[in-house]
Chain A
Amino acid sequence: MSLVSRLAADVDQAFPDLVQTLQDQVFSGALRITASRADAEDITQETFVRAYRALCDYPPDRIRALKLPGWIWTIALNLCRNRARSLARHPVTADNGRLVAHADSRPGPEDVAAWREPPLAGPLATLPDPMRVAVVLRHVAGLSYPELAQVLDRPEGTVKADVHRGLERLRQLLRDPPAPQSTPSLSEVTP
């Protein structure tokens, strides 16, 4: 029986499977969109808590009709965007008791230093938002183009173009990295 059918039959019973099936892709995607492990973990948690509450309210027919990865990502991406907006409005926030300063949603030097990031993480974090989100959802989270179109609520052709432009920009950044002082997070990948 498919996961949506099991969710439609008994949300409480099937919900842990939903989390287990999708938590890695939600976390991985949120990590590359927010560039913060703490935020990505919070967003992953909150995504599934909201999904559970919604599933409890939905009639079984509506649950059976859900396209799961896309639906979950609609919730997750909203949370990522809310977080970016609140960071823009309150550049310095107390986050879990520790004071963090963000100029934008990209990683600060301390975020990058704290984790041994893969070489691609730095350049990816410097892509402008729409391209980065499209590339991350397609190739890190592993969504299909139809799913991507569902999540971003845009035509498939448009999201495809965003992904391609994002990949192109990424190749450019890898060939020709900007000077380290302007983006400290890139210092690690400078050849």
Chain B
Amino acid sequence: MSSGSLIDDLEALRTAAPPTVLPAVLVRTGLADGYVTRPGLIGRLRVAFNERGVSACEPADEAYDAAGFERRFLEHFGRPAVPVSDVPGRLAGPLDRALATGRIGQLPIDLRGTGDFQRAVLEKAAEIGPGEIRPYSWIAREIGKPRAVRAVGTALGRNPIPILIPCHRVVRTDGRIGNYGFGTAMKRSLLSAEGVDPDEVEALASRGVRYVGSDTTHVYCHPTCRGARRVTAAHRVAFRSAREAAAAGYRPCRQCRPEPAAA
């Protein structure tokens, strides 16, 4: 072998770095968020994250492709999101649990870029468990801004981590299911996958029913409160308002905290 060809052969050992290097470095330096695709309750989800926690979530289907996700992410956060193969260990377990249970649990979330009001709204929405829904007015009252119902709707509409932060569990104050960033159809599908019957919700709303009570305990609840769902049909009483419930001698449920009559 001549000297020239040995050196050529050595130079031929030069090889491209694996395509995973650049994304991993950008994620570890905080210059980009990584994202993975995971099965959700209905369909697959893209979940983005950084050192602080989960930063974004979107359905992953024909209507929401990877390129669109990356473009929206860049527009919204001003930094890129790059596909990575794995979620860091610290997030992996809590993310799997959040996806499986529909509760955010111990999953760290990154809500930088949201103001105090929006953060309070999102954190409150995250308290609503799967299979339950609450009206916008409930969130407004719970965060101490009872008149900010419309602003609550706006804050939820700009939820950067939908599905994981379950803004789909928040409905109109009149009880109707209402709008959703990914369309009303998806909101209904998500709710029904979680055990809420959207038709029943709409039916109650159209009858003007806001609360249901038990004539044995004399407690009234949101219709999807776990307490309310345990009440048998024979003992179930429907109320159109808190005042009506109070007039009948009912008190608000301590679990789902419906509007008290005085308010």
Which residues of A approach B to under 8 Å, CB–CB?
A: 12, 15-16, 19-20, 23-28, 31-32, 37, 41, 44-45, 48-49, 52-53, 118-121, 124, 135, 139-142, 167, 170-171, 174-175
Contact = CB atoms under 8 A, between A and B. Distances in A.
Contact of A124 (B7, B13, B21, B29): B13
Contacts of A28: 13-15, 17
A142 B26 contact: no
Contacts of B21: 19, 23, 27, 41, 44-45, 48
Which range contains the number of B residues in contact with the other chain? 20 to 34
A19 B25 contact: yes
A49 B25 contact: yes
Contact of A23 (B9, B17, B28): B17
B22 interface: yes
A140 B31 contact: no
A139 B14 CA distance: 9
Interface centre among B13, B18, B31 (most CB of A within 10 A): B13
B14 A25 contact: yes
Interface string B6-42: 1101111111111011101110110100000000000
A41 B20 contact: yes
17 contacts: A16-B26, A24-B14, A24-B15, A27-B21, A28-B13, A28-B14, A28-B15, A28-B17, A31-B15, A44-B21, A48-B21, A120-B13, A124-B13, A140-B10, A141-B14, A167-B3, A174-B1
B85 to A, nearest CB: 12
B17 A135 contact: no
A32 to B, nearest CB: 6
Contacts of A121: 13
A25 to B, nearest CB: 7
Nearest to B10: A139
A20 to B, nearest CB: 7
A15 B24 contact: no
Nearest to A175: B1
A139 B17 contact: no
Closest 6 CB pairs of A and B: A27-B17, A139-B10, A23-B17, A52-B29, A48-B25, A28-B14
A142 B13 contact: no
B14 A15 contact: no
Contacts of B25: 19, 45, 48-49, 52
Nearest to B29: A52
Contacts of A12: 31
A7 to B, nearest CB: 13
A186 B124 CA distance: 64
Given A44-B21, A118-B9, A49 B28 contact: yes
Nearest to B32: A16
A24 B11 CA distance: 12
Given A28-B15, A44-B17, A120 B22 contact: no
